[in-house]
Amino acid sequence: MVIKSRKNYYEILGVTPDSEAGEIKSAYRRLARKFHPDINKAPDSVRKFKDILEAYEVLADEIKRKQYNMVNGFYKTSKSSYKTEYKTNPQHKTNESFTKEPSAEEQEAPTSDNEIYRKKFFKDSINSILDEITRSHYSQKQQKNIKNGDDINTDISISLEEAINGTERILNIMHKELCPNCRGRKFINGSKCSVCEGSGEFTSHKKITVKIPKGIKNNAKLRILNEGNPGFNGGKSGTLYITVKIEKHSNFEIDGANILYKIPITPFEAVLGGKIEIPALSGKINLILPAMTHSGQKFRLSNQGLKTNGKFGDMIVTVEIQLPNKLSNEEIKMYEKLKKMSQTNIRGNITND
């Protein structure tokens, strides 16, 4: 089939007759995107789009392009240029093959195979452009809708011994992300999404091993990056915040970074003094009581408390003088002897004022 058209396809695509196939394809894609009726709403966009497709159909096919050049008088005048000559110009002598009228056979309608090819070409071209437009539009929309993931907050409880010595916990963290089926739209084709049941969210559980540093303070927060809810369209994942709660202890209390402990002592330990063992959480510690220790007297053991701001608190021990529940007859006689020997009135300074 001879291409018989007086349209300047090179001019329509904005290329020259010596343009390479890649240049023609690039120009076609650019113009097709620009004048596609779904994008360009100008009154003449449909006509321009058809001309662009028609031009590319011919120039993209090597055989059709040669026939088009011959019929319309495009030929090389030098190594780097073409010249257009039309047989309608009476002053120009042209090669016979450029000026002769096409035969009746050449002018006949396209064969069925050509018609099938033409329809397929137009369909593939339009689909290619639409796909590219859709991808570009979706990419731009994704960039506009970038969203970082939300943070997750959770609590864990540990014993005071674990707070002093450090420990590990395996946490089962529930993450929320957009439903992979409806992408957060909640509905598909007018019905609730069957995967998320219309919530638009998808939940998943992830096990995370968390190390609790030794000496951690009550209500301290641990921060784990990128373990929060995932981001959307390339956004960053959120942060996991863990608040550490220290359980109450039967013998110890917490005062900030300090640990408070009360320990009983006997009357003779209070009078005579001596070494006693303190059952601290990090192990047993020796405490030296001075002679004549009073009930309620406090002793500070440095760096035996909880850690805060890189420093350890102290352990504060309060002694309480206590009598045993049972005394032998000999012990009672010794107290009676002490009573007779005592010369001190410890209530002598008490007045009625």
* CA–CA gap between residue 241 and residue 222 (Å, rounded): 6
Structure tokens at 10: 């090179």
- Top-level CATH class of 252-341? mainly beta
Q: What is the pLDDT of residue 35?
A: 86
Does the fold of domain 252-341 match that of domain 9-143?
no
| CATH number, domain 9-143, options 3.40.50.720, 1.10.287.110, 3.40.50.10800, 3.30.565.10 | 1.10.287.110
314 and 301 in contact (C-beta within 8 Å)?
yes
The pLDDT-based confidence of 161 (bands split at 50, 70, 90) is: confident
Once rounded to an integer, what is the mean pLDDT over residues 73-99? 43
- The highest-confidence range among 18-22, 88-92, 101-105, 282-286, by mean pLDDT, is 18-22
Evaluate if residue 132 carries a pLDDT over 90. Answer: no
Evaluate if residue 122 carries a pLDDT over 80. Answer: no
* CA–CA gap between residue 139 and residue 96 (Å, rounded): 53
* CA–CA gap between residue 158 and residue 171 (Å, rounded): 13
Once rounded to an integer, what is the mean pLDDT over residues 31-53? 85
Q: What is the mean pLDDT of the chain?
A: 78
Once rounded to an integer, what is the mean pLDDT over residues 222-228? 91
The pLDDT-based confidence of 260 (bands split at 50, 70, 90) is: very high
Structure tokens at 322: 């206590």
In the block, which residue shows the tokens 């190390």?
Answer: 211
To the nearest whole percent, how much of the chain has pLDDT over 70?
76
Q: What is the pLDDT of residue 183?
A: 73
Q: What is the pLDDT of residue 96?
A: 34
Evaluate if residue 134 carries a pLDDT over 80. Answer: no
Evaluate if residue 66 carries a pLDDT over 70. Answer: yes
To the nearest whole percent, how much of the chain has pLDDT over 90?
28
* pLDDT tens digit sequence for 305-348: 887 777 888 999 999 999 888 889 998 898 888 888 887 777 77
* CA–CA gap between residue 56 and residue 74 (Å, rounded): 16
What is the total residue count of the chain? 353
Once rounded to an integer, what is the mean pLDDT over residues 106-116? 50
* CA–CA gap between residue 35 and residue 44 (Å, rounded): 9
* pLDDT tens digit sequence for 265-311: 999 899 999 999 988 767 788 999 999 999 999 999 988 888 777 78
Domain ranges for the chain, please list them.
9-143, 152-246, 252-341
- Identify the CATH number of the domain defined by range 152-246: 2.60.260.20
pTM exceeding 0.85: no
